């Protein structure tokens, strides 16, 4: 059975979500709920909240939920630490020729 996710704005401008056709298994319902929740979160957020990771080797896109929109790296372990370490090594090498 095909599962369709419905996302629409109500009269108050709030995004609402729902399933168009009921699924027969719990996994499909869970996936649909997660996808629709992510879609509503992205639709409600300003475009400045969606960013790309600042690490050179990382191409991930992430949702910046910080209060002042200052997050620069994805949640992957090591992106920020690797970049900061590389910058430190570069500065250290430039000071001591």
Tell me the mean pLDDT per 10 residues along the chain, length 97.
66 72 72 77 71 85 84 81 87 66
| Dihedral of alpha carbons 89, 95, 96, 97, sign | positive
**Closest residue by Cα to residue 56 from 39, 79, 37:** 79
pLDDT, residue 97, reads: 47
pLDDT, residue 23, reads: 61
pLDDT, residue 65, reads: 81
Q: Where are the domains of the chain?
A: 1-44, 48-97
Residues 63-86: tens digit of each pLDDT? 888 888 888 888 767 888 888 888
């Amino acid at each position: 059975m095909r599962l369709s996710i419905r996302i629409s704005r109500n009269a108050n401008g709030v995004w609402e979500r729902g399933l168009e056709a009921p699924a027969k298994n719990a996994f499909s319902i869970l996936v649909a709920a997660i996808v629709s929740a992510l879609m509503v979160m992205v639709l409600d957020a300003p475009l400045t909240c969606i960013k790309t990771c600042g690490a050179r080797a990382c191409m991930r896109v992430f949702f910046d939920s910080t209060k002042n929109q200052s997050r620069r790296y994805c949640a992957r372990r090591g992106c920020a630490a690797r970049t900061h370490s590389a910058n430190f090594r570069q500065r250290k090498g430039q000071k001591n020729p």
